Structure 1
Amino acid sequence: MSLWYGGDYNPEQWDPVVWKDDVELMRRAGVNLVTVGVFSWSSLEPSPGEYRFGWLDRVLDLLHGGGISVDLATPTASPPPWFSRLHPEALPVTADGLRLTHGSRDTYCACAPAYRTAARGIARQLAEQYHDHPALAMWHVHNEYGTTCYCDLAAARFRDWLRERYGSLDRLNEAWTTAFWSQGYADWADVEPPRKTQYLVNPTHCLDYRRFWSDELLAAFREQKAEINAVSELPVTTNFVFGGWVPVNHAQWAAEVDVVAIDHYPDQAGIGAEEQTAFGADLARGWAGGKPWLLMEHAAGSLNDGRRWHTKEPGRMARHSLSHVARGSRGALFFQWRASRGGAEMYHSAMVPHAGPDSRRFTEIEELGSVLPRLAEVAESNVVAEVAVLWDVECWWAMQGTHLPSSSLDYLAAVRSAHRHFWRAGLTADFAAPDADLSSYRLVVVPSLYLISDEAAANLRAYVEAGGQLVVGYFSGIVDPDLRVRLGGYPGAFTELLGVRVEEFHPLPEDGTVALASGGHGRLWSEHVHAISAEVVDRYADGVLDGLPAITRHEVGAGTAWYVSTEVDDETAARLLGLSPSPLETVHRRRGDTTWTFLINHGEQEAVAPAAGVELVTGEQVDGAVTVPGGGYAVLRST
């Protein structure tokens, strides 16, 4: 079993004389899989019903002749200009009522019948044309599902979705608390998308619109997948993209794809990029239920912090790629193979840069291509994780609203902070859903789980009663799935489990801190906590909360539930979680009696780790310890 290596290949951007050179360079680099066709709709169907597959026939034949497999994509993320001209009603509308024009990618509304028909049509044509081509390894539907629209077509579909979810307007009015601000609905026709309005929008209305779009986009994916499955038995996937703008519940979607695949682009340039790389990989593994998944896209040569590009230093591309492989990916793919000469992303980094193959970047691409085959034996092993961080996308969506008591409350930041503590200690953490089976974990961290169902809360209690260690963060358990506050004191769903009652929130200034009796400090947030049956572990040491509980512990059954009512400093968090810093990113994978250990050094100084076995990159025997140079890595097999 090999590891996949390659990336998006867009031959339609290049003269055919370049194609043969591309295949030779791919062979030289060790590429064995490329994604073809993602943005090629106008090249495949230049006018309605006129299909031109000759160029794609030639490309697939060339790739197959070079021993390179293909992940063939449907091009439905970028409808051609003729489609938008003929179907202006399918152009997307923003929340403030502006209908967008053609000129970029994703210029469509997935609720438009014309778009759905056209998408099924091009998927059917591709499936029938290429289902038996020997180059094919898998199918790739669409690209980075996540587009939202607020048009009248979307409004009609939304009303249908709400009828199915709630059954009656009475139930919808209850869930949305429409008695507030005289929003009660007496006719389904009055229900619209949460468009821009005078002041604050209804938070449950917004949350349901996210839920609706996840389901609607999934229905669009299923339609294309059905066209492919009608003639092909090869795996079908789509590339998940992660971001605050994405209305997709990837945990639910994971059951619909044959292979979970992700795109990952960190938005930090320093060590935070490495932390985010591990975060994204662990999240993908969680979506995949611990099974192998695939890194479909990442950047070969740059990082983007939202203001400017940062060129990856020598060795950093390989470290990012291997971090994904260590954490369960079946390989490392990039966007894209060859840097574009023009277009909106002409400066996006690529495996073959504008400088060509005579470049540092391509040399590193070749080096990584020579390393991955030596690691292929890890492909069917499982990542070892003894701790977990809870993740719930609906909680994230709910906390992106404008109704919270502090603009500093940030669910994603709280989850990343919890994950970062384990990463810095060289421990691998799984991401798990609140209602998942948690029995295999010795420790579970619950960061700012604002929204939780009764069933999920009961699941966490059962985990603790059976002997689990649960650490619950501030602003957790506050609302039910309808975003209705659980009355009687915070943290609502967790008051009995934690043995505490929070009387009031005390948000801190953006740059403010509060001292703790232990010598640490909290930031962002604090709470007036009453320890009802819990033991006080740490107290606030200044301000209006001076002397009141800040951190508590409560024994329940055979386990313990901890409550942390502020965002504590890293040293306090490490002490609470029993963690020690590690100079190496460390991930263990296991199959039977064999363990593989990935050691990745993101620092400048060499680091030594106890180890025994065979180092797969060099083939050398290790007995006692291995030295990992600054910026280097090692992968050991032990039995």
Structure 2
Amino acid sequence: MRLWRRTALSLLIARLLLLTVSAQEESFFPVAVWYGGGRARAPMLEARVDRDRWRQDLKQIKSLGFNAIRCWVDWATAEPVEGKYDFAALDALLDLAEELDLKVIVQVYVDSAPDWVGKKYREAEFVSISGDRIRSESAPGYCFDHPGVRRAVLDFYAALATHLKGKRAFYGWDLWSEPHVINWAQATYLVGPEFCFCPYSVARYREWLKKKYGSLDALNHAWYRRFADWSEVEPNRLSTILSYTDYIDWRFFIIDKLAEDLRARREAVKRILPDRVATSHAAAPSLFTSPLSGDGSPDDWLMAEQVDFWGTSFYPKHSFPVGRDVAWRGALLDFARSASGERGFWVGELQGGFGTVALRISSTVTPEDIRIWTWSAVARGAKAINFYAWYPMSSGYESGGFGLINLDGTVTERAREAGRIAQTIDRHRALFLRAHPARAEIAIVYNPLSYMVGGRRPLQAAGPQGEFVNIERNSMLGIYRALFPANVPVDFLHVDRIARGEARRYKLIFLPYPLMLSEAASRALIEYVKQGGALVAEARLAWNDERGRAKEIIPGFGLHEVCGCRETAVQQTASGKTEIEVAAAGASLPLLKPGDRLRGLGYEETLTPISPNARVVARFSDGSPAIVASTFGRGKMIAIGTFLGAAYEAERDPNLARFFLGLLDWAGIAREAEVVSANGASSVEIKLMSVDADQKILFVFNHGEAPVEATVSVKGSFQRAIELTTGKDLELREGEGAVGLTKGLAPKEVWIVHLRP
């Protein structure tokens, strides 16, 4: 089932608008700092324009090597009276930026709404699932579904675009920072708040349902209801024993609504300034959010279709005493890259200094962190970096945090390091703009439906089964983490893209936590294996369809024929953990041998073979089949009767790591670049970008705390290797169809090499 549809006309318009910005995109790679004039924190502005002081700040930013700033406009300040605009601070920054040859990216905040909006449209307040109305206190503003608010918001975007005509320093927009239904405010007095249940959102939901089902009879059949009129239809609020199709529809309506709201913002400015780059960025990629979130979380793939560039915030230490590890960071960036496609993605916010949320303070952000984080993003296809922020936060519960420099204006070494990186990128921007990450042969499926099993009764538990919390995310993240040491490109693939036929691009597809699957995706996966693909699926594959209804045979939709087995029993273990032993037939699991034990999580699903092409390669402790390998058509499949991805994320079992890494050989995955040796260290990561048919950019990272001497092999025929940071020619060793390079890497060092004829 297609979870959303776009008309041919809207697709054509989007393509035409993309063509208008291509020339700008191909010539500029923004490396910016967030700076709104003085020390005020976003989205607030200083009370008065101080050109002399702002000029000094911009001179300092420019002298370090940055080529852009990212300033902001908040609706409350810019339109204090309806129809009367105050863009004085923005004008001053644009004039100063033009004077200093800096580009300007404008971040727009309409969540900070003027008081006149609430007075004029008192019925436009957000309404939670409980019926509580949320009074805006500078945020979160008012519901975009109210026609008066929607018109006022889009009029503001149009007025701002009109004002920016002729401003030569203006490069582009971020039209919506970290989109949600409700932003920048938390109703801590409510239990389980969820938005928005106002009459205008409900009316919009009914229209969405009419398009999906076509008739009230079809809706009644799907929901097990007896509505006599569309006016009786309301969003799901309860968990009932009858059906949770109504809940699934409500959650996908929110996903579609966010994308449509972003498209409306884009269209409002593109009608006036079609040649300026339009972007938006998530608070975190969908890997680290949930479509069940009460404030409404976007779907990265769908949002990326609405703008020239979609992106993400990236705070590896945020306000935590222990920073996120390298695999976690890689997964975040690869997820953002995967959703954005070949055009690349933007890092809308990159942490510039230590973080704080009230009394919670992060570990120190070092220059080495800035180096590793920035180049990790560029190596994965980022086409803009925006450091958050120049000054630390000046007020609020983030006060004193996140700045590249100190609040008194003194420049830090991490700011200088960020500036040096900016200089390198700017010096080679044509190269980086043309480069794209090496093509992945492996995909890990992202499936929003997997979060919805049980409707408003998600499978979560505390105590000994606490691992079930976030099992959807951990199932994906655990597989990615296990594969990370292999240094092979890995994509995340939206399940809806499988239904569109994109599975054929991959040799190996992992389907983690696949309890709910659409019929269209299932059919596409069957064809994928039949045509030669390799599929690995975890427990209870396609147990439920996209309406939440159980299939007669599990795996559902005929996938039991692909894996050559079916579920004959299933239980949840008392401890929440499972034990699996590799069987004698386990030779089909490279890197493992008979008798090796694997630790799983959650279910013990007995997978009884039903085909001569299937064989049991691992068993649970009671002897029942746990893992079955099969062939189907020209392809093959492994069915797993438990959750190994989430288990690896929880415990990092070495045998599980070998299991996942062995599947690369099982599927015939090529290694275009490899770490040949690194003094036995596991801290070296390599990424490869293609510039054209015969040029590559090689990134070598030492994530460790100790120096290593790393030798790297890259397939291909190259005559020159140039170190990009110094311009120095490097020694190349030629081998069979590959070249080798060796370098001693200091702790946290990043080595960037341009390989060319």
Corresponding pairs, count:
629
Against the structure 1 CA distance between its residues 458 and 396, is the aligned structure 2 distance closer, same or farther, given a 3 Å change threshold? closer
Matched AA of 1:438: A
Q: Indicate the residue corresponding to 1:508 in structure 2.
A: 573
Unaligned runs of 5+ in 2: 1-26, 38-43, 182-194, 462-467, 583-595, 665-674, 676-680, 714-719, 733-740
The question of whether the paired residues in 1 share the 8 Å contact of 2:350 and 2:387 is answered with yes
Deviation at 1:400, TM superposition (A): 8.3
Q: Indicate the residue corresponding to 2:57 in structure 1.
A: 22
Q: Indicate the residue corresponding to 1:295 in structure 2.
A: 347
Deviation at 1:403, TM superposition (A): 3.5
Deviation at 1:349, TM superposition (A): 0.3
**1:609 lines up with 2:609 in the alignment:** no
**1:589 lines up with 2:689 in the alignment:** yes
2:636 to 560, 580, 596: 560
SS, match of residue 141 in structure 1: strand
Deviation at 1:50, TM superposition (A): 1.8
SS, match of residue 70 in structure 1: strand
The question of whether the paired residues in 2 share the 8 Å contact of 1:428 and 1:586 is answered with no
Query: Structure 2: how far apart are the matches of 1:400 and 1:104?
Result: 37
Within 5 Å, which residues of 2 pair with 1:437-456?
437-456=502-521
Matched AA of 1:90: A
Matched AA of 1:16: V
1:575 to 659, 671, 679: 659
The question of whether the paired residues in 1 share the 8 Å contact of 2:579 and 2:600 is answered with yes
Deviates more, 1:385-394 or 1:97-106: 385-394
SS, match of residue 471 in structure 1: strand
Query: Structure 2: how far apart are the matches of 1:465 and 1:86?
Result: 60
**1:265 lines up with 2:315 in the alignment:** yes
Query: Structure 1: how far apart are the matches of 2:441 and 2:170?
Result: 38
Within 5 Å, which residues of 2 pair with 1:133-144?
133-144=167-178
Q: Write the deviation string for residues 441-462 of structure 1: whole angstroms up to 9, x where unpaired.
A: 2222111233322222222222
Q: Indicate the residue corresponding to 2:624 in structure 1.
A: 548
Deviates more, 1:45-54 or 1:341-350: 341-350
Q: Indicate the residue corresponding to 1:325 in structure 2.
A: 378
SS, match of residue 309 in structure 2: coil
1:362 to 406, 409, 415: 415
**1:337 lines up with 2:337 in the alignment:** no
Query: Structure 2: how far apart are the matches of 1:250 and 1:400?
Result: 24
SS, match of residue 456 in structure 1: helix
Q: Indicate the residue corresponding to 1:519 in structure 2.
A: 597
The question of whether the paired residues in 2 share the 8 Å contact of 1:77 and 1:142 is answered with no
Deviation at 1:21, TM superposition (A): 2.2
Against the structure 1 CA distance between its residues 314 and 171, is the aligned structure 2 distance closer, same or farther, given a 3 Å change threshold? same
Against the structure 1 CA distance between its residues 554 and 302, is the aligned structure 2 distance closer, same or farther, given a 3 Å change threshold? farther
Deviation at 1:5, TM superposition (A): 0.8
**1:174 lines up with 2:253 in the alignment:** no
Query: Structure 1: how far apart are the matches of 2:479 and 2:357?
Result: 21
Deviation at 1:383, TM superposition (A): 0.9
The question of whether the paired residues in 2 share the 8 Å contact of 1:269 and 1:303 is answered with no
**1:391 lines up with 2:415 in the alignment:** no
The question of whether the paired residues in 1 share the 8 Å contact of 2:450 and 2:513 is answered with no
The question of whether the paired residues in 2 share the 8 Å contact of 1:386 and 1:443 is answered with no
Within 5 Å, which residues of 2 pair with 1:394-433?
394-399=448-453, 401-404=455-458, 407=461, 408=468, 410-433=471-494
Q: Write the deviation string for residues 329-350 of structure 1: whole angstroms up to 9, x where unpaired.
A: 0132122232232134334402
Against the structure 1 CA distance between its residues 355 and 277, is the aligned structure 2 distance closer, same or farther, given a 3 Å change threshold? farther
SS, match of residue 483 in structure 2: helix
The question of whether the paired residues in 2 share the 8 Å contact of 1:381 and 1:589 is answered with yes
Deviation at 1:64, TM superposition (A): 1.6
The question of whether the paired residues in 2 share the 8 Å contact of 1:6 and 1:337 is answered with no
Query: Structure 2: how far apart are the matches of 1:200 and 1:88?
Result: 37
Query: Structure 2: how far apart are the matches of 1:304 and 1:480?
Result: 43
Deviation at 1:630, TM superposition (A): 1.9
Deviation at 1:371, TM superposition (A): 3.6
Task: Compute the RMSD of aligned alpha carbons.
Answer: 2.8
Against the structure 1 CA distance between its residues 512 and 53, is the aligned structure 2 distance closer, same or farther, given a 3 Å change threshold? same
Matched AA of 1:395: L
Query: Structure 2: how far apart are the matches of 1:227 and 1:473?
Result: 44
Query: Structure 2: how far apart are the matches of 1:351 and 1:247?
Result: 29
The question of whether the paired residues in 1 share the 8 Å contact of 2:323 and 2:362 is answered with no
Q: Identity of aligned pairs, percent?
A: 24
Q: Indicate the residue corresponding to 1:228 in structure 2.
A: 269
Matched AA of 1:630: P
Query: Structure 1: how far apart are the matches of 2:71 and 2:352?
Result: 18
Q: Indicate the residue corresponding to 2:82 in structure 1.
A: 48
**1:90 lines up with 2:124 in the alignment:** yes
Against the structure 1 CA distance between its residues 460 and 515, is the aligned structure 2 distance closer, same or farther, given a 3 Å change threshold? closer
SS, match of residue 334 in structure 2: helix
Matched AA of 2:262: F
1:528 to 587, 606, 610: 606
Matched AA of 2:745: V
Deviates more, 1:297-306 or 1:75-84: 297-306
SS, match of residue 219 in structure 1: helix
Matched AA of 1:13: L
2:212 to 165, 172, 186: 165
Query: Structure 2: how far apart are the matches of 1:393 and 1:356?
Result: 46
Against the structure 1 CA distance between its residues 336 and 625, is the aligned structure 2 distance closer, same or farther, given a 3 Å change threshold? same
Q: Write the deviation string for residues 444-503 of structure 1: whole angstroms up to 9, x where unpaired.
A: 211123332222222222222222221112243222222222222335552121112113
Deviation at 1:363, TM superposition (A): 3.2
Q: Indicate the residue corresponding to 1:490 in structure 2.
A: 555
2:363 to 284, 289, 310: 310
Q: Indicate the residue corresponding to 1:146 in structure 2.
A: 180
The question of whether the paired residues in 2 share the 8 Å contact of 1:478 and 1:486 is answered with yes
Deviates more, 1:319-328 or 1:70-79: 70-79
Query: Structure 1: how far apart are the matches of 2:747 and 2:136?
Result: 48
Q: Write the deviation string for residues 409-447 of structure 1: whole angstroms up to 9, x where unpaired.
A: 621111111222222322221122322423332222111
Query: Structure 1: how far apart are the matches of 2:339 and 2:55?
Result: 38
Against the structure 1 CA distance between its residues 524 and 368, is the aligned structure 2 distance closer, same or farther, given a 3 Å change threshold? farther
TM-score (norm 2): 0.77
Query: Structure 2: how far apart are the matches of 1:190 and 1:209?
Result: 15
SS, match of residue 425 in structure 2: helix
Query: Structure 1: how far apart are the matches of 2:141 and 2:707?
Result: 49
Within 5 Å, which residues of 2 pair with 1:186-265?
186-195=228-237, 197=238, 203-233=244-274, 234-242=276-284, 243-244=289-290, 245=293, 246-265=296-315
Against the structure 1 CA distance between its residues 508 and 89, is the aligned structure 2 distance closer, same or farther, given a 3 Å change threshold? farther
SS, match of residue 318 in structure 1: helix
Deviation at 1:593, TM superposition (A): 0.6
Query: Structure 1: how far apart are the matches of 2:235 and 2:724?
Result: 55
TM-score (norm 1): 0.91
Query: Structure 2: how far apart are the matches of 1:598 and 1:399?
Result: 41
Matched AA of 2:199: D
Query: Structure 2: how far apart are the matches of 1:535 and 1:325?
Result: 43
Deviation at 1:364, TM superposition (A): 3.1
Query: Structure 1: how far apart are the matches of 2:387 and 2:447?
Result: 26
The question of whether the paired residues in 2 share the 8 Å contact of 1:477 and 1:493 is answered with no
Against the structure 1 CA distance between its residues 84 and 311, is the aligned structure 2 distance closer, same or farther, given a 3 Å change threshold? farther
Unaligned runs of 5+ in 1: none
The question of whether the paired residues in 2 share the 8 Å contact of 1:269 and 1:305 is answered with no
Q: Indicate the residue corresponding to 2:191 in structure 1.
A: none
The question of whether the paired residues in 2 share the 8 Å contact of 1:46 and 1:80 is answered with yes
Matched AA of 1:451: M
Deviation at 1:511, TM superposition (A): 5.7
Query: Structure 2: how far apart are the matches of 1:506 and 1:305?
Result: 42
